[in-house]
Amino acid sequence: MDYKKLKLRYIGYYNTPLLWKGDTIYGLQQLELQNLPLQPFNKDIKGHLRLGKLAEHFVFHSFKAHENIQVIASGIQIQKDQRTLGELDGIITLNNTPIHLEIIYKFYLYDEQTGTNELEHWIGPNKKDCLIHKLVKLKEKQLPLLHQPESQSLLKKLSIHPEPLEQCVLFKAQLFVPWNKENHEFSLINRDCIQGFYIYKKELQHFKDCKFYMPSKLDWFIVPHSKVDWNTYNNLEESILDLLNQQYSPLVWIKHPNGMISKCFVVWW
């Protein structure tokens, strides 16, 4: 395991802001914790994890720095007749208050051609998911799962009393806006989540004098830095175009001639 990369991924997670504050979006209450110290991440994680699951590891690790948080259970599978109904991400106590917590970490791009309002404009890099669908799923499926009889029964077996449980989300996101439109105003989401921009295939040529680095998906967490193996535009162009032809939007770091580094999606759509 590359612990150096894992540490950088954790720092990237740690520095990602909440997508909104309070319960201002869909009435979903964010778990807001002030100024948690940055704990070194030294956990030994076995096997390959999806980005979302790695984020869950990061969340529970970060709680160790909070003296008033106790993790009671995590990754609770709810089943009925050998069929999985869903999963409760975590049950914690904060200042002795029991909380059912759902954890979300996403990458969204702002596309005004999709949907009719600010929330509907935020979509996944490959147009396979979107913010509004995730919010609806949280509101109508993931949080209500707690109240299903199967969930109540399992919690009692774990000596967790379901009735006083509050419900919160911890929803972090990295957001990307169209190139040269970085100053767009947003009224609902936390603008601090904007981490870069995105470009279309036809705009790639504007960066031909730059150097490129294409991180693996788990490295999408990482704040761009200079200590990587940079490629020229000519060396990486073919790989990027091949991914676009497969309807996959890669994330790249772009090192400009002046030394500035940008985080950028190249989109196929």
Q: pLDDT tens string for the chain (269 positions)?
A: 688 899 999 999 999 999 999 999 999 999 999 878 898 888 888 778 899 999 999 999 999 999 999 999 999 999 998 899 999 999 999 999 999 999 999 999 999 999 999 999 999 999 999 999 999 999 999 999 999 999 999 999 888 887 779 999 999 999 999 998 878 889 999 999 999 999 999 999 999 999 999 999 999 999 999 999 999 999 999 999 999 999 999 999 999 999 999 999 999 99
Q: Are the C-beta atoms of residues 166 and 98 closer than 8 Å to each other? A: yes
Three-state secondary structure of 14-35? HCCCECCCCCCCCCCCECCCCC
Q: What is the largest CA-CA distance in the chain?
A: 62
Q: How far apart are CA 133 and CA 194, in angstroms?
A: 20
Q: Are the C-beta atoms of residues 191 and 18 closer than 8 Å to each other? A: no
What pLDDT, on a 0 to 100 scale, did the predictor assign at position 134? 98
Q: How far apart are CA 124 and CA 127, in angstroms?
A: 5
Share of the chain above pLDDT 90, in %: 86
Characterize the bridge pairing of strands 97-110 and 83-94.
antiparallel
Find all residues with CB under 8 Å of 96, minimum gap 6, and list them.
Answer: 68
Q: Which two tokens stand for residue 5?
A: 């990369």
What pLDDT, on a 0 to 100 scale, did the predictor assign at position 37? 86
Q: Give the CA distances from residue 261 to residues 9, 114, 212, in Å, rounded to whole numbers and listed in that order.
A: 17, 29, 9
- pTM of the predicted structure, to 2 decimals: 0.95
Q: How many Å separate Cα 93 from the centre of its chain?
A: 23
Q: How far apart are CA 205 and CA 121, in angstroms?
A: 26
Per domain, the residue ranges of the chain are: 3-182, 195-267
Q: Which two tokens stand for residue 83?
A: 């069929």
Q: How far apart are CA 10 and CA 37, in angstroms?
A: 13
Q: Which two tokens stand for residue 205?
A: 């040529």
What pLDDT, on a 0 to 100 scale, did the predictor assign at position 1? 63
What pLDDT, on a 0 to 100 scale, did the predictor assign at position 123? 98
Q: Which two tokens stand for residue 211?
A: 């150097």
Strand, coil or helix: 109: strand
Q: How far apart are CA 54 and CA 104, in angstroms?
A: 11
